[in-house]
Amino acid sequence: MTTEKKHYINCPICEAECGIEIITRNEEILSIKGDKQNGFSKGFICPKATAIKELYNDPDRLRHPLRRTPKGWEKIGWKEAFDEIENRLQAIRGRYGNDAVALFLGNPNVHYHGNLLYIGFLLKALKTKHRYSSSSLDQLPLMMACQQMFGHQLLFPVPDIDRTDYFMIIGGNPAISGGSIMTAPGVVHRIKKIRKRNGKVVVVDPAYTKTASLADTHFFIRPGADLFFVAAMVHTLFEEGLARPGRVEAYSKGLSTIKEAVKAFTPEKVSSVTGIKAEDIRRLAREFAGAEKAVCYGRLGTCVQEYGTLTTWLIIVFNIIAGKMDQPGGFMFPTPAIDLVGFTALAGEKGWVGRKRTRVSGLTDFGGEFPASALAEEILTEGEGQIKALISVAGNPVLSAPNGRLMDKALTQIDFMVAVDWYITESSRHAHIILPPTHFLEHSNAMMMVNLAGVRNVAAYSKPVLKKSKETRHNWEILSELTARSLSNPLLRIAARLDRPELILDFLLRFGPHGSGLRFWRSGLSLNKVRNEPHGVDLGPLVPRLPERLFTKEKRIDLAPELFVKALRKITKNVSESPPKESSEFDLLLIGRRQLMSSNSWFHNAPGMHGKTNRCTLMVNPMDAEKRELHTGDRVQVSSAVGAISLEAETTDRIMPGVVSIPHGWGHHRSGIRLGVASSHPGVSINDITDNRRIDLSGNAAFSGVPVRIEKESKGE
């Protein structure tokens, strides 16, 4: 019998988590569109959601385990795969110790509750200090700033975008990202509404982005100079008597220390460093302080640079001392349905700095995680403590980590690698065993990012849309089996395999801020209640949470953590009235860029995500292009201290002079991958020329502001 069904789920591809409506006939997807009944996303979706059907039907997507052999990949059963993994890892751990095994976690892990709930069990079972993830390629500066200031690494302040009247965005492009550490589906409409209510939107970015096109004002800023810009605005607030934290001052400390720390950062001194006029810096600070409801938000561009942590810290400080923290329209904290912050705090996992160091470069950990920039050298450098095995879950470090060629080399030399992945990618092609999980349409899911960074308090649960085949396993089943195989105690092995993700989810909902607890007659949240609301449960707007939400010992915000103040003092000598000089060899600064029809590296195998034009180009300002006799379409070589790549130039005034830009996630030219569509649109990887030695205070990779030179290639090259 042929029947059509409507399914309502939340798209897990990016942080926006938009509600979508999917119509199926038996196991065939007929249509995908926005869920207009979803109160959070209100029918909005982006092109990535409409391509879910292509991802599901992709012939390159793996449906069963593979083992790499000298003759190529061969299909094996799940038991055989897990048996081999257990034997190989057991032998390596027995010979070299637990720390010979490393774990790398990619970005998609945070979008599925099954992964989030079970990764911790695997980490404890492996007993290794070698934990790496995409956090240190993206958001570690924010996590460190929150840990130092608020007492918990996941206590993220979120822009109350729906009620603000003045939205300043530094180094972020939410119109394309959908909101990053700011879950805000339909963010374009939300930004437009600010202007409709006579508010103001200001964007500060080295590129004129999609978000900049929606703003009232855009300022170009030199890559890596955001710290000086924000410090000068903080300086202006103090200098002009505009530092008025309001009620937050009663549970803050370090205000006078901050005032002294930014004393040298006058707008006049930082103007040449930033490329922004002193009078504009002062005007922006005054406007921000004078707006009744205002928020300053920094994101990827402010994190992935040499001063990422310090910039992120001062952005939060700027909001606080201007009186925009923990109030409607400003920086606020969610009241989450699933309180990952509160539960991890009870478990003692609030984040820490520097308990361990890497063996080769002596880099410190943050929250038990080492910088991903150090992974390759820890594999390649021989000696006691060398990484011999790697488990990669939903990660592609060859394309996502700095100095991708070094990472590629490292993975060729590792003794044993397991990849939990849908595809044979640039990284998983080096695995000895690949374990493919079910597609996200084949398993249930609970919205997770909205609980950490939602601009509104919402709960939602997605039921499976399509049936999984008997040959496939869910992510949590794979992780629980890997956990069991890593334990020696037979009782613990049995416990690790228990089918309990929904039970854990129900517990988290019941004992969260909106839950019913043990009183089952209460109207509070439970899994059953959320599951029966296909369009999500609206839990209301953000509300003031301080000081109760703080996790610092004194229940006070530390405005001036000693670690940050010391680092800032060392930088004051770089505050100069003379413009910065680039080396004669590398005279341009490279930045990345985000694209709407990309989701990191794995969305390039969907045919609908490719148009007629080449999207992997080098953006060059016309002034820089003229000096080099470059035109759009010319091939250029881009060289850095670690390598060179070749791609097409695109001359445009959307990039500031002295800066060039390449999108991230491309580079599908490597042999051995099984991505038919992506291979036909390979592009080049920006991370083949980023430097793994460039990291910031937190250990985050400093992708932005890489010194490069560009040279026009002759047509014969």
DSSP secondary structure letters along 82-149: HHHHHHHHHHHHHHH-GGGEEEEE-GGGGG-HHHHHHHHHHHHHHT-S-EEEGGGGTTHHHHHHHHHH
- Statement: residue 338 has pLDDT above 90: yes
Give the per-residue pLDDT at 349: 85
Last residue of a domain, one of 18, 33, 50: 50
Please state the rounded mean pLDDT for residues 499-523.
83
pLDDT at 579 over 80: no
> pLDDT tens digits, residue range 638-666?
999 999 999 999 999 999 999 999 999 99
**What is the arithmetic mean of pLDDT over 594-599?**
76
pLDDT digits (tens, 9 = 90+) for 424-454: 999 999 999 999 999 999 999 998 877 889 9
Whether 588 contacts 706, CB under 8 Å:
no
Percent of the chain with pLDDT over 70: 97
Asked if the structure places residue 46 within a domain, the reply is: yes
* Cα 502 to Cα 522: distance, rounded to the nearest angstrom: 20
Which is more confidently placed, 152 or 602?
A: 152
Per residue in 269-289, pLDDT (tens digit) is: 999 999 999 999 999 999 999
Stretch 139-148: mean pLDDT, rounded?
96
Domains in the chain, number: 2
Half-sphere exposure of 349 (CA within 13 A, CB side): 10
Work out the pLDDT band at 574, boundaries 50, 70, 90. Answer: confident
Instruction: Show the domain range for 680.
Output: 581-712
Q: In this model, does residue 13 exceed pLDDT 90?
A: no
Last residue of a domain, one of 34, 50, 66: 50
pLDDT at residue 588 is higher than 90:
yes
The Cα 115–Cα 105 span in angstroms is 10
Contact 593, 661 (CB under 8 A): yes
The pLDDT, as a whole number, for residue 66 is 98
pLDDT band at 599 (very low <50, low <70, confident <90, very high): low
Average model confidence (pLDDT) across the chain:
93
Residue 39 lies in a domain: yes
More confident residue, 41 or 609: 41
Provide the pLDDT for residue 489. 84
Q: Is residue 82 part of a domain?
A: no
- Indicate which CATH number applies to the domain containing 602: 2.40.40.20
Give per-residue pLDDT as tens, 514-531. Answer: 997 766 556 789 999 999
pTM of the complete model:
0.96
Q: How many Cα atoms are found within 13 Å in the side-chain-facing hemisphere of 44? A: 16
Domain end among 50, 66, 85: 50
182 pLDDT band (50/70/90 cuts)?
very high
| Residue 548 covered by a domain | no
> Where does the pLDDT of residue 613 fall: very low under 50, low under 70, confident under 90, or very high at 90 and above?
confident
453-491 pLDDT, tens per residue? 999 999 999 999 999 988 899 999 999 999 999 998 888
Checking if the pLDDT of 1 tops 80, the result is no
The residue behind tokens 């016309």 is: 622
Residue 680: inside a domain: yes
Per-residue pLDDT tens for 298-330? 999 999 999 999 999 999 999 999 999 999 999
Q: Looking at the domain assignment, is residue 631 inside a domain? A: yes
| Predicted pLDDT at 195 | 96
Question: How many residues are given for the chain?
Answer: 717
pLDDT above 90 for 87? yes
Q: What is the mean pLDDT of residues 51-80?
A: 95
Q: What is the pLDDT of residue 600?
A: 65
Burial class (CB in 10 A: 0-12, 13-18, 19+), 381: middle
Work out the pLDDT band at 352, boundaries 50, 70, 90: confident
Mean per-residue pLDDT for 690-716? 93
CATH number at residue 20: 3.30.200.210
Would residue 700 count as lying in a domain?
Answer: yes
Does 328 map to a domain?
no
- Of 115-129, 178-192, 371-385, 578-592, the poorest mean pLDDT is in 578-592
The pLDDT assigned to 190 comes to 96
Q: Locate tokens 């302040």: which residue?
A: 157
Q: Distance between CA atoms of 711 and 613, rounded to whole angstroms?
A: 23
Residue 576 has pLDDT above 80, yes or no: no
Residues 61, 422 contacting (CB under 8 angstroms): yes
Q: DSSP string covering 419-458, please? A: EE-SS--TTGGG-SEEEPBPPGGGS-EE--HHHHHBSEEE
pLDDT of residue 583: 65
Rounded CA separation 452/435 (Å): 29
